[in-house]
Amino acid sequence: MFQLDTYKYFKGERFGGIFEGRRPVLYILDPELIKAITIRDSDHFCDRAILPTNEPKYINRSILHLRGAEWKVVRSLVRPAFSSARLKNMFPLIQQCTSQLVGFLDKYNNSDVEIKDVMVHLTLEITGVCAFGISTDSLRDENAEFKKVAMDFNKMSVPKRMLIFSILLFAPILLKYMNVSFFNYEANKKLVSILRKTRAERVSTGTRRNDFLQLLIDASVTEEEDIVNTKTERHLDDDTVDAQALIFLIAGFETTSTLLSFAIYQMAIQPEIQNKLRDHIMEITKGEELSYDHLVQLDYLDAFVSETLRMYPPVARIDRKCTKPYTLPGSSVHLQVNDFVAIPAYGIHMDPEIYPEPEKFKPERFTREGKNEVPSHLFLAFGAGPRNCIGARFAMVIAKATIVTLVRNYKFSMCSKTEVPITFHKKAFLLTAENGVWVRVEKI
């Protein structure tokens, strides 16, 4: 993987630079510099390193794309959707979906399964129900249309890929004048159409639900009322609401299904860990139905999920753009506004000086005793600092609830298609297994 190779190439240095086309990128490797950029001096790096493009507003107005003060305002409006109280209220809906998963997976008893595809069915349904109050039918229909559309969100033809690469290489400034998207335009247009229809029905009928979409609607209405009185700037207009809804859907289903598929893969290739996890869950829950309060007590499960994220971080590199002139501490390197820095998360997670024997899957690293050995800013599965992943807690709740349901009902083992180690897809934006994640499923 390129990020790991780059990290190894610069190993021993505090930082190093490469060119991506004509754009210089400064790689940050030193733990103290990583802490400075992501946390201590994060006000100098509050923007993600996203190139400006002339994409539709329902893409470039997302919380990933927004910059500076506007990003802070929108994030503060969206953050309450992930509070403990709201997650606890959503938990019964998550449980209903994981129960449906059992019926869906029973069809594959004693079969070899590409488990990432199955997990996509689950995470799409959970995201649809919990965030938007809509069922995607993904756990009832193997060929659900919503699932087909969602899976195409980042598919890109070879000619388009070559066009974007050429522009990035020779004239990246042209991107902001061209109607070129890094996402699949047609797929995202269909998804936004469904979300807009759902929102319009809510508003016209006065229907209310305790979900992410309702929070966006309420925040938009409140902001609009405040503007009348204070003459302040509008942030949550219709395009921005659509953008948050779309990115929540895409990021929610894709990254969480990836996490779950790799977690199941590790259970399959290491049955002793699977058994330990099953015994741990039985000991804590005593066979009772899983509750939200149980999640706090399931220490080994939390460590297991964290170790999965260490070995398989959804995003292999964290990018930031300099927003105020900055001098790297302890050096003469001066960064100017719009300079790009990169933190190779996958390289750090696989560094034996930070995580001993990094190629081995060891949940004990993240037990209460083990957590003290590695600084929190060097666990980068969800980023670090103020611009970290806002949906991290939601993803962890889904992952834990799903794993509990799975280990109570199934045994996972290796099959003839199981790769050890897994080959990663070199061209995928997110960490993806090139040949799928195959396991054998047996009902217990």
In sequence order, which residues have a C-beta less than 8 Å from that of residue 389 and are 6 or more positions away? Answer: 251, 382, 383, 395
> How many beta carbons lie within 10 A of that of residue 307, not counting itself?
23
In sequence order, which residues have a C-beta less than 8 Å from that of residue 53 and are 6 or more positions away? Answer: 60, 175, 176, 178, 180, 181, 182
Nearest Cα to 386, choosing from 320, 316, 313, 302?
320
Round to whole Å and give the CA distance between 279 and 281.
5
CB-based contact 409:102 (threshold 8 Å): yes
Round to whole Å and give the CA distance between 266 and 156.
30
Q: Which two tokens stand for residue 180?
A: 């070129």
Q: Which two tokens stand for residue 138?
A: 């993904």
Round to whole Å and give the CA distance between 338 and 78.
26
Round to whole Å and give the CA distance between 102 and 8.
43
Q: Is 46 labelled a binding residue?
A: no
> How many beta carbons lie within 10 A of that of residue 68, not counting itself?
10
Nearest Cα to 59, choosing from 286, 277, 341, 247?
247
Question: What is the SS3 assignment for 235?
Answer: coil
Show binding-site residues.
389
Show binding-site residues for heme.
389
